[in-house]
Each structure stands twice: as C-alpha cells, then as structure tokens.
Amino acid sequence: MKIERGMCAYVSGAGSGIGRGISLALASRGVSVGVADIRESDAAETARQITAAGGRAIALPVDVSQASSVETAADHLESAFGPISIVCNNAGVAMHGVPLHEIEMSDWDWVIGVNIYGVIHGIRSFIPRLLDRGTATHMVNTASIGGFQVNPNFMTGAYSMTKYAVVALSEALRNELADTNVGISVLAPAAVDTGIHLSERSRPERLGGAYVRPQNHFMGDMIKGSTPPETIGKRVAQAIEAGDFYIFTHAETEEWLDRRHASIKDAFAKARQAGAGSMAAE
C-alpha cells in the first residue's frame, strides 16, 4: 500500500523507543498518529514532537494487556482523526536474566499480558476496522529476532517465547487475510537503542505495579549506542509500502537463524535415517 497524507495510524508502545521511531516516521509522511502508551506522559512527549514538526498526533493512555483499554483507544482515535489505515502493535516488555523455572508467576502474567495479549487485543480491535475500510490497510506486529531463535548467551527464554508467539500470530494473519485489503508484517529487530531494559517501570498496578528489575539491566549496556529507533521507524514505513511480510533490520543476524535452521535440518536427516513415517501414514 502507499502511505498517503491524511491517513490515520495507531502505534502502541509509542511513548519511547521503536514505537516513537515508527510514529515519527509515519507522521513525517503526513499520517495522523494515535500515540498509545501506558505511560501517558511519554505518549504526550511523542505527540508533542510530532505536532512541533507540523504533524498531527494524539496521546492515548493504553494498557495493551487489557482488551477494553485497546478498544477504547481505537474508538477515541477514530473520533479524532477518522478511519484507521495503519496499525502497529508494538508495545513490549523485557523479561531477561532469570531461569525459566525461577520466574515469578506475576512476571509471567506481565510479559504474556503485554507481549502476546497486547497483539491479540490489537488484532481483535483493529482487524475488523481495517477490513471495513475496503481500501488498502496494513498491520505491523513487533516481534524480535528473538522470535526466530533463542540466543544461547543470555537468559531470554520468557521474552523469546512471547515473540515466537507474535511471529506465529502474524503468519496466521497473513494466511487468513491473503485475499483481503489488509496487509500484514512482522517486525524482527535486534539491538536497538531503546529503554526496553527499563520496561518494569511500566508494569500496571493490577500486575504488581512499577518496580526495579536489575536482571534486565545488562541489556541497557549492550544496546546503548546501537541502531537508533528512528532508523527502525523509517524501515517499517518502507516495508509497509513494499508489502514486505518479514521486516528484518539487522542483516548480521541471518547467521543466527542459519545456525538454528542447520540444527533442524540435521534433525530431519536423523528422521530419514530412522525411517520415520509420513504424515499420510498417520
């Protein structure tokens, strides 16, 4: 689809990081942006930057882990700027540095609530609206390179699990909506200079409230000075117009996926040697 001036977009997790980068990139093309974030002051700052540059934006306080919050934001955005053409389900939180069997259930609820249910709620609220538009529309779901492989050097299993789910949800949407006006993309960045390592400051009260999670903070040193969010935002806008499904942003990570795929191929070779049966036989 062609991104045209006057279109309306919803971007979650847009108060900082990649979400802000996407919002600024879309606004620079004349798109009116609903800047959604659980931290309303951060959303307001992104909206301020857009309007200061001559664009149109509205800050939307949204807890993506709550279906009603996303639906209310969608209604508010359409009331402000009209029918929505672009949706970026981008909000996400980190859950690093702790073995899976030691992660507290409250943290499981949080990371699943934001990273998986946040996308599900976005799908449920926005896909019907995009289908009703009739004209070309697009949804981008932010996964991670961690949604395609689990890095053996870091304990990021819970985070990767949620991002694998985002990839699967996006692939399913692509299949289901192939003959419609709705395009789908899944964004899979690697190191981006964001504050994701500080995401525990945004945990809602119903899931325990804001706290300090030092196990995440090693990531801050790793990503400092890496790819700017604005670069990712521009890449996303280009990919929407090109109709790209997979949006990779760090070419060097191809080697990580190659290693995973090689181990899978080896496992299939062993299956053939073992004389494994066909699916038809089952």
Q: How many CB atoms lie within 10 A of CB 67?
A: 16
Instruction: Identify whether 73 is part of a domain.
Output: yes
CATH number assigned to the domain comprising residue 30: 3.40.50.720
Per-residue model confidence as pLDDT tens for the chain (282 residues) = 999 999 999 999 999 999 999 999 999 999 999 999 999 999 999 999 999 999 999 999 999 999 999 999 999 999 999 999 999 999 999 888 899 999 999 999 999 999 999 999 999 999 999 999 999 999 999 999 999 999 888 889 999 999 999 999 999 999 999 999 999 999 999 878 676 777 777 888 888 888 777 766 666 666 667 788 899 999 999 999 999 999 999 999 999 999 999 999 999 999 999 986 666 544
For residue 28, give its domain range.
Answer: 8-252
Instruction: Identify whether 3 is part of a domain.
Output: no
Instruction: Identify whether 261 is part of a domain.
Output: no
Instruction: Identify whether 36 is part of a domain.
Output: yes
Instruction: Identify whether 243 is part of a domain.
Output: yes
Residue in the block written with tokens 């990273």: 115
Instruction: Identify whether 219 is part of a domain.
Output: yes
Claim: this prediction has a pTM higher than 0.85: yes
Count how many domains the chain has. Answer: 1
The β-bridge partners of 36 are 12, 60
Instruction: Identify whether 272 is part of a domain.
Output: no
Note if 246 is an active site residue: no
CA distances from 13 to 59, 65, 75, 133, 171 (A): 11, 12, 18, 24, 22
- Catalytic residue, from 10, 117, 159, 164: name it: 159
| CA gap 47, 35 in Å, rounded | 6
For the CA atoms of 218, 101, 260, 115, the dihedral, rounded to the nearest 10 degrees, stands at -70
DSSP secondary structure of 98-167: S-GGG--HHHHHHHHHHHTHHHHHHHHHHHHHHHHH-S-EEEEEE--GGGT---TTS--HHHHHHHHHHH
| CA gap 28, 9 in Å, rounded | 12
Instruction: Identify whether 123 is part of a domain.
Output: yes
